[in-house]
Amino acid sequence: MIDERVYIFDTTLRDGEQSPGASLNPDQKLAIAYQLARLGVDVIEAGFPLSSPGDFEAVQRIARQVQGPMITALARAAKPDIDAVWQSVQDAERKQIHMVLSVSDIHIERKLRSTRADVLRRGIEAVAYARSLCDQVEYSPEDAGRADADYLYETLEEVIDAGATVVNIPDTTGYTLPHEFGGLIASIKANVRNIDRAMISVHCHNDLGLSTANSVAAVLNGARRVECTINGIGERAGNASLEEVVMILRTRERSLGLKTGVDTGRLAEVSAMVSRQTGIPVQPNKAIVGGNAFAHASGIHQDGVLKDKSNYEIMRPEDVGMGESRIVLSPRSGRHAFRFRLAELGYHLPDGAFVRAWEQFLELADRKKDILDRDLADIVHAVDIESLEVPA
């Protein structure tokens, strides 16, 4: 079993902000960056400085004020972009220049209208220039998941020789399957002669719902940095979800031997903040931080959880900052859950009164979607009130 650290690169403020309607102003970005630092992420990608004066300002303020994580920002493989990143991050305690340039034939031919040789030359020159400014340089060969393997290996070797300290392997379109993406990382380690001189990072998109699975497959095959976002927000269907990646590694740490430096007890708090600031709600059934992630509505599940939470919960809600598990009363709830909820509200019914209350509850639950505490109070007071044993 391996026992190694996986580094978390948070791109909520760059790729996450690319979600339609999620634009953040510099004050909002700075506030989120402070929370990401408290969360314990290793790298914050704070924006795309050349894209607008506001984004340049946001990156620069984060670089100057947020301590702890490495601060980076995105550039295309061109001198004006690289200069903008350097000018915005240079005051950070720890900084990195991150650049991206396509590597798949479909991108080279149809997007860049270029050739493999020309794109490789541009990448080498850009990395060399960035490295003349900053000791930490990350190179992302865009659309690596659909690239020719030999050309990808050649690209990685050349940019590492030019000074790249991190090579990021993006599944830009979310196209690969986990066994394919894990195999790609393994093949890079086996075929790129100088890969020992750079860290392998991965950046997976969620177009087929596989971004988290692909990210985990990558680290199992040797990647040691994962690029992800809070709540999985990002371009199109989004990015790998930070909270999912982190909690997979924590929950399965004994078997995987992999861990992060994230303070998981802050996950729910940061998730809620990002949702408020971006205006993008967290779906109720979202893993880890969704409102229903630790809620139980089925009678069979409720009975099991009330006997021992480990029957249906593989992690504790408090470990991610979600408070307590919830028993949600519904037509599928059982008597055990109904009695438990009444007791939580301070009602202790004798057997005869409980049976009558149970029958009224079932009738109401078939008619009403949400059973509120006042509904339960009404039911209790409708039965034989003289038999109640209400604690002082």
Query: Is the model's pLDDT at 2 over the cut of 70?
Result: no
Query: Is the model's pLDDT at 388 over the cut of 50?
Result: no
Q: What is the 3-state secondary structure (H, E, C) of the chain?
A: CCCEECEEEECCCCCHHHCCCCCCCHHHHHHHHHHHHHHCCCEEECCCHHHCHHHHHHHHHHHHHCCCCEEEEEEECCHHHHHHHHHHHCCCCCEEEEEEEECCHHHHHHCCCCCHHHHHHHHHHHHHHHHHHCCCEEEEEECHHHCCHHHHHHHHHHHHHHCCCEEEEEECCCCCCHHHHHHHHHHHHHHCCCHHHCEEEEEEECCCCCHHHHHHHHHHCCCCEEEEEHHHCCCCCCECEHHHHHHHHHHCHHHHCEECCCCHHHHHHHHHHHHHHHCCCCCCCCCCCCCCCCEECCHHHHHHHHHCHHHCCCCCHHHHCCCCCEECCCCCCCHHHHHHHHHHCCCCCCHHHHHHHHHHHHHHHHHCCCCCHHHHHHHHHHCCHHHCCCCC
* Amino acid 330: pLDDT: 81
Q: Copy the structure tokens of residue 255.
A: 């078997």
Beta partners for residue 8, in sequence order:
226
Min mean pLDDT across 31-40, 206-215, 306-315 is at: 306-315
What does the alpha-carbon distance between residue 165 and residue 43 come to, in Å, rounded to a whole number? Answer: 14
Query: Is the model's pLDDT at 318 over the cut of 50?
Result: yes
Segment 24-51 shows an average pLDDT of 97
Segment 58-87, tens digit of pLDDT: 999 999 999 999 999 999 999 999 999 999
- Between 1.10.238, 1.20.120, 1.10.287, 3.40.50, what CATH number should domain 295-387 receive? 1.10.238
> CA Rg, the chain, in Å?
26
Query: Is the model's pLDDT at 375 over the cut of 60?
Result: yes
Segment 289-312 shows an average pLDDT of 86
Which amino acid makes up residue 276?
R
Q: β-pairing, 295-296 with 326-327?
A: parallel
Query: Is the model's pLDDT at 385 over the cut of 70?
Result: no
Into which CATH architecture does domain 4-278 fall?
Alpha-Beta Barrel (3.20)
Query: Is the model's pLDDT at 145 over the cut of 60?
Result: yes
Residue corresponding to tokens 């290793």: 42
Query: Is the model's pLDDT at 392 over the cut of 50?
Result: no
Q: How confident is the model at residue 387 (pLDDT cuts 50, 70, 90)?
A: low
Return mean pLDDT, the chain. Answer: 93
CB 15 within 8 A of CB 229: yes
Which amino acid makes up residue 379?
I
Segment 119-128 shows an average pLDDT of 98
Segment 339-354 shows an average pLDDT of 89
* Amino acid 1: pLDDT: 41
Segment 361-372, tens digit of pLDDT: 898 988 887 788
Segment 217-265, tens digit of pLDDT: 999 999 999 999 999 999 999 999 999 999 999 999 999 999 999 999 9
Spans of all domains in the chain: 4-278, 295-387
Query: Is the model's pLDDT at 341 over the cut of 90?
Result: no
Beta partners for residue 76, in sequence order:
100
* Amino acid 225: pLDDT: 98
> What pTM value is reported for the model?
0.90
What does the alpha-carbon distance between residue 182 and residue 276 come to, in Å, rounded to a whole number? Answer: 35
* Amino acid 94: pLDDT: 98
CB 150 within 8 A of CB 157: no
Min mean pLDDT across 180-189, 204-213, 256-265, 361-370 is at: 361-370
Query: Is the model's pLDDT at 200 over the cut of 80?
Result: yes
Q: Copy the structure tokens of residue 184.
A: 């790609």
Min mean pLDDT across 21-35, 172-186, 228-242, 315-329 is at: 315-329
* CA proximity to 152, closest of 178, 206, 116: 116
Q: β-pairing, 258-259 with 225-228?
A: unpaired
